[in-house]
Structure 1
Amino acid sequence: MAESLHTVTTLPTVRRPGCPFDPPTELLEARRHGPLSHYTFPGGKPGWLVTGYDLVRSVLADPRFSARKELMLHPTIDYGDIELSPAPPGEFLFMDEPRHGRYRKPLTGKFTARRIRLLAERLQEITEEQLDAMEKTGPPVDLVTAFAKRVPAITMGEILGVPHEDRDTFQELVDAFRNMEAPRDDLRAAYTATQEHLAELVAAKRAHPTDDVLSDLTGSDLTDEELVGVALILLAAGFDTTMHMLALGTFALLRNPDQLAALRDDPDLTDRAVEELLRYLSVGKTFMRTALEDVELGGRTIEAGQPLILSYNTANRDPERYAEPHVLDLQRKGGGHLAFGHGIHQCLGQQLARVQLRVAFPALLNRFPTLRLAVPAEEIVLRPEVDIADVHGVKSLPVAWDT
């Protein structure tokens, strides 16, 4: 007789007081009971919570588990009898093959490690420009608005070919439709406004192509509507996660001064440090899949149609994968974390994100060697995690330094 499984009744999002970098206690407790738990979705639909590294990775690599938007139940919202809609054209993050490949394939050559390395010099310039502005303003500053938000926003603006005069507008629009605290009507309005601005940008690139990814894509067979969807995914994913990695990563380093000192003193540690911060923080914490057929997973049968919640943050803290998983250790050897996912949906812009982090963290720490929190750590407010798609981060990070 199979051993009974742990059951999780609600998907927790609240982190323990004083532990802003650790997954919620209930998720860690679920992992201690095993890598797979029962989860009952709103409305009574039976499903699963996957918290172990090996099982999360296995699901992500298995085409029998679907990423299609119309199959994804929300873990905390009961949609009742409402029929869910497929992802709009171009938004390939929520599609299976072959539809997914139609949009991803034209992009694969745009974000190779080699191409991103060629951007490193420009990324260094962007980073230094923001640090210059911070230094000119003087302490204290909010690192989120002064640095963490600006670096990826400018970078993604240049990659997509957003005119310089429009970049603040695009940043505000992305902020608005990613603000899960806002009323739903406001979110829909912001999403629509972003689509409209991107449609204007696509039309401009078709008429007058420039040296950027969006202009390159106008030479493919993708329609304007599809290009808007692709651009929306790139803009949101490339901006939001990197912004929160920069801010939350700096917060984590400031709370671990020995690790901060090691990174500042040893430039050769940078690559390993970035991988450890990605593992430790796992800002993109949760994703969904749905079984297309009966599948054996972890000794259990996942029935066709059953939804799964994949907990990246507990998978990346799995003690069967990592020794002392809750310790930030920039000397940790061996990567393989799931911060960028795995399988066909593994983050397309992961090399770009890595280069931005490899450039930004050392530059920030070297420019301001006395960087510190400007308020007690307990007063740093975390970004509310009210939706499964929320990225973990801080709302603001007041910092200061000696002048």
Structure 2
Amino acid sequence: MDINQVRKQFPILDQEVNGHPLVYLDSAATSQKPQSVIEALDEYYRGYNSNVHRGVHTLGTRATDGYEGAREKVRRFINANSTEEVIFTRGTTTSINTVAYSYGRNNLQEGDEIVITPMEHHSNIIPWQQTAKATGATLKYIPLQEDGTISLEDAKETITDKTKIVAMMHVSNVLGTINPIKEIASIAHDHGAIMLVDGAQSAPHMRIDVQDLNCDFFAFSGHKMGGPTGIGVLYGKKSLLKEMEPVEFGGEMIDFVGLYDSTWKELPWKFEGGTPIIAGAIGIGAAIDFLEEVGLDEIEAHEKRLAQYAMDRLQTIEGVTIYGPEDRAGLITFNLDDVHPHDVATVLDAEGIAVRAGHHCAQPLMKWLNVSATARASFYVYNTEEDIDAFVDGLQKTKEFFGDVF
């Protein structure tokens, strides 16, 4: 991978922030967009903007081809069996909520169990809290090891014959932990439970094969993988999706509507009520083209090298605490002694360095870490060791600045 050629494809990186070259280290929140994605969106709106699946005119046909062509790209990207198993949503949050409402509320009852982990993003906690309250099911947590990983022994102890749903993130947006999804899915299936995977932090960064993982549902977002905001994907096994009811009703998802009853379209369209996210789908399709051209294996290896380099550099700064395991995805969550993470992020921003500070939509995990907030630097295909050097230098300046203040 030629990193210089890759960086040239991201026009937003060619700017200064507060008088310094931009160093963007917040891709876990949202990634920057390559020129090819920007052009795909522009081409749609300039050249063939139209609704899909309805008109027989030329623009409508082109839009439908673009929209459904993107679905096939997603199918190939995650190795789903069929495009019937690929549903376009507004993002990972909507995808998880769809499963929680459509599958969870119709298949759970009092005495059943939902199993998740304390490291989950709020989007994979709150829907299950609400589902448990609505059905009488019990919400259980697989405990974390000291380094923020999950042991298969603990998973086996937590998942029982009462468990009906296991929902887990593939990669932690705070710790960088890469969870053993395939093995835990096998444990869940041994007990007759289904497995949902929050892939928001994995699909952009590594090769995904939902058939190999043998998960029942897999959710991810376009905006974290070089695509536009407002578009996501829910993969589900066809046998499960066929039995699930839609959660949104209206145009596009209907087959027949009478005065007192209606029927739904076949998969996947029964879950895509209303005018679908046409431009977003075209954009995520273009993002997949870009990622596959660069190579997912190369992207994953590149980010892991950056993470290791960053950890090695950060250990030279006294007072830095790094959270999470040694073997991690491409992000570093940390705190600097006696300096609030928001202050760290503010000083780094003055140096043109964008990092995230706060609870990262993971308040239960913050409580487990015994902190109120952390700072996070997250890496993507366009980052370099020079970015890490600037970040570490900026952090050293932050330490010196607040040392002088106090």
TM-score band w.r.t. shorter chain:
under 0.3
Looking at secondary structure, tell me which structure has more helix per residue: 1
Looking at secondary structure, tell me which structure has more strand per residue: 2
Normalising by structure 2, we get a TM-score of 0.28
